[in-house]
Structure 1
Amino acid sequence: MSARRARGRRWRRIAFFVFLAVVAVLLVRYAASVDWPQVGATLAGYSALTLASAAALTVGSYLLYSCYDVAARRYARHHLPVPHVMAISLVAYAFSLNVGALVGGAGFRYRMYSHAGLGIGAISRIVAFTVSTNWIGYLLLAGAIFAMRAVAPPPQWGVDIGLLPWIGVAMLLAVGAYLGACRLSHGRVFHVRGHHLRLPSLPLALLQVAMAACNWSLMAWLLHLFMPPEVSYGTVLGTLLLAAVASAIAHIPAGIGVLEAVFLALLGHQVPAPQLLAALLAYRACYYLGPLLLAVAGYALLEARVRRAALAGEPVR
């Protein structure tokens, strides 16, 4: 059985790299056909007010995301200082977006929280809480958008979207089921395959939904700033939510190529490709690359703090 599993993992790894190679070839072929001077002209045409607004939305979104870990502080029942928790969350989020959730979101949290003195159990609860927060808010927004048919494939696809509202309803029911389970569990610990699971209280679960839904909305608002005026906010939000799932399935760091492919497929009939690519590049610069540069510096500071505390024989604060 172990040999069979090993072969299965090997073939999945091969299939993944083949998939990456195909995506790379398609991206190169598409890039050769893009009017890059027009993309550059669109980027240069963004006003100072647009760029300032984008920076403000990015800061607001990252600060809101850091509150996931602050709320997880109560769920995991630890007492690290809130500023330290927010610093860890901000660094982890930037790395998660750019290098992947497993390495960035989980790996960096395990490293930095363990340096701060938390045990593996508490850190696992923090990671589980932040991941579930992100996706429960996603389900609420995506469910509402799909149920209202606010996003649809291009007309030339000829695809029947009659199933989409039902998928949206199922998502909303899943959110309701989660909240109901949190209300009924009363802090009870469940044992699933050797793992201990405790659902948050209903007020904490409602906070999860509100924070994540607001954060996804801010991300879409940021991207909408760079879009032509004829593209509605609801369309951008729905497309971004679809692209997020596609990126998660593809497991490509930063969703490179996937985000662009989804937007070009769904909005290419509505927005000229150079304008669409310029908007996506500006969004990536504001929400991915800029915060990553700051996160690298922040991580270096956190590590230096750990070393100083170790030399002094004091706990990290």
Structure 2
Amino acid sequence: MHKKLQLNGNFLFGLLLLAISVWAIANELREYNYHDILRAIASIPLQSLSWAIGFTAMGYFVMVGYDILGFAYIHRSLHWQKIALTNFISSSFSNTIGFALLTGSAIRYRFYSRWQVSKIAIAQIIAFVNFTFWLGMFTVAGLLFLIHPFVIPLQLHLPFTTVSPLGWIFLSLMGIYLIGSLVIHRPLIIRNHEFRLPSFQTSLMQIIISSLDWIFAASVLYSLLPINTAYNYLDFLGIYLLAMFAGVVSNVPGGLGVFETVILLMLSNKISAAAVLAAMLAYRGVYYFLPLLLATALLIFDEVKSSTQYIIKK
């Protein structure tokens, strides 16, 4: 009886995920008219679009490393294909819909629990993945904000006029984390919860994987900007990270609106606003919409497969 209820619960949860994916796709099409997306992509050279798709594929491939490293951190093993499937679907949903702690976590719980991973282990992996996501941001942004500082738009209402103070803050946090992973070997007790810092080697791998994730994501949009853009990649990467930081902190799905505003404010003085908007529309389509579409198809296939198996067993 309990097993039957669990199967029905999993099936209903799967339908809920499908409904969320349909909503996310409809929301993308409503915010950016379907024909506008096609026109924006059509105006971009095929070579630039190919680069963008390639960087997107590499970015989502790198993201699989989050979960693989998470399993290594808790000393558990699972076939890499199962990890890759779970990570891709959860990343596609959380990147587009936002609220990663809800969307991505729910999908990870659904799939990993099916493969006999305990609730505690899943919670540890989720915490590890979400924490790792920020390490690359702090590392890459910290370095760039100090090497290539630029003025922060007044519209963001930040307490700094340039990004240099943010660079010092980010790198200081990273330094504290690395030193802690090197010298602290006992678990930390915070509010009756036990936290164990990863080894120094694992911490370095977290930084490398997360940094590559951010670098590839920025490369997607940069490759879609006009070829003769006045910004080199490092300058643009700093602007992109500031825009993404503002978008993620806002918790708006996909940083929608916040991200575009910062990019436009920073680039429109050297690149036409129309060209920037076209690139961002194509970026949304390539980096968010296409992976979500593929993830939804995989989710539907998985639900059909699971339902078929359930009917056969019944």
Shorter-chain TM band: 0.7 to 0.9
Partner of 1:20: none
How far the C-alpha of 1:308 sits from its partner, in A, is 5.6
Partner of 1:260: 260
Are positions 1:232 and 2:232 aligned together? yes
Evaluate the alpha carbon distance shift between residue 121 and residue 309 of structure 1 in structure 2; reply closer, same or farther with a 3 A threshold: farther
Q: How many residues align?
A: 277
SS at match of 1:271: coil
Partner of 1:22: none
What is the alpha-carbon distance in structure 2 between the residues aligned to residue 105 and residue 155 of structure 1?
Answer: 33
SS at match of 1:62: helix
- Contact kept, 8 Å, 1:115 with 1:306, in 2: the verdict is no
What is the alpha-carbon distance in structure 2 between the residues aligned to residue 155 and residue 200 of structure 1?
Answer: 39
**Pairing 1:119-268 to 2, within 5 Å after superposition:** 119-153=118-152, 164-186=163-185, 188-228=186-226, 229-268=229-268
- Contact kept, 8 Å, 1:151 with 1:234, in 2: the verdict is no
- Contact kept, 8 Å, 2:71 with 2:125, in 1: the verdict is yes
Evaluate the alpha carbon distance shift between residue 300 and residue 195 of structure 1 in structure 2; reply closer, same or farther with a 3 A threshold: farther
SS at match of 2:271: coil
What is the alpha-carbon distance in structure 2 between the residues aligned to residue 289 and residue 311 of structure 1?
Answer: 33
- Contact kept, 8 Å, 2:66 with 2:129, in 1: the verdict is yes
Identical columns (%):
30
In the superposition, the TM-score normalised over structure 2's length comes to: 0.80
What is the alpha-carbon distance in structure 1 between the residues aligned to residue 142 and residue 151 of structure 2?
Answer: 14
Give the aligned residue type for 2:182. Answer: R
Give the aligned residue type for 1:274. Answer: A
How far the C-alpha of 1:154 sits from its partner, in A, is 6.2
What is the alpha-carbon distance in structure 1 between the residues aligned to residue 294 and residue 202 of structure 2?
Answer: 30
Are positions 1:67 and 2:65 aligned together? yes
What is the alpha-carbon distance in structure 2 between the residues aligned to residue 121 and residue 40 of structure 1?
Answer: 44
SS at match of 1:191: strand
Evaluate the alpha carbon distance shift between residue 141 and residue 115 of structure 1 in structure 2; reply closer, same or farther with a 3 A threshold: same
Evaluate the alpha carbon distance shift between residue 262 and residue 155 of structure 1 in structure 2; reply closer, same or farther with a 3 A threshold: closer
What is the alpha-carbon distance in structure 2 between the residues aligned to residue 252 and residue 269 of structure 1?
Answer: 26
Q: CA RMSD in A?
A: 2.7
What is the alpha-carbon distance in structure 1 between the residues aligned to residue 64 and residue 155 of structure 2?
Answer: 42
- Contact kept, 8 Å, 2:187 with 2:194, in 1: the verdict is yes
Evaluate the alpha carbon distance shift between residue 303 and residue 201 of structure 1 in structure 2; reply closer, same or farther with a 3 A threshold: farther
SS at match of 1:196: strand
How far the C-alpha of 1:129 sits from its partner, in A, is 1.1
Q: RCO (CA 8 Å, sep 6+): is it higher in 1 or 2?
A: 2
How far the C-alpha of 1:103 sits from its partner, in A, is 2.7
- Contact kept, 8 Å, 2:96 with 2:253, in 1: the verdict is yes
Range that drifts further, 88-97 or 230-239: 230-239
Partner of 2:47: 49
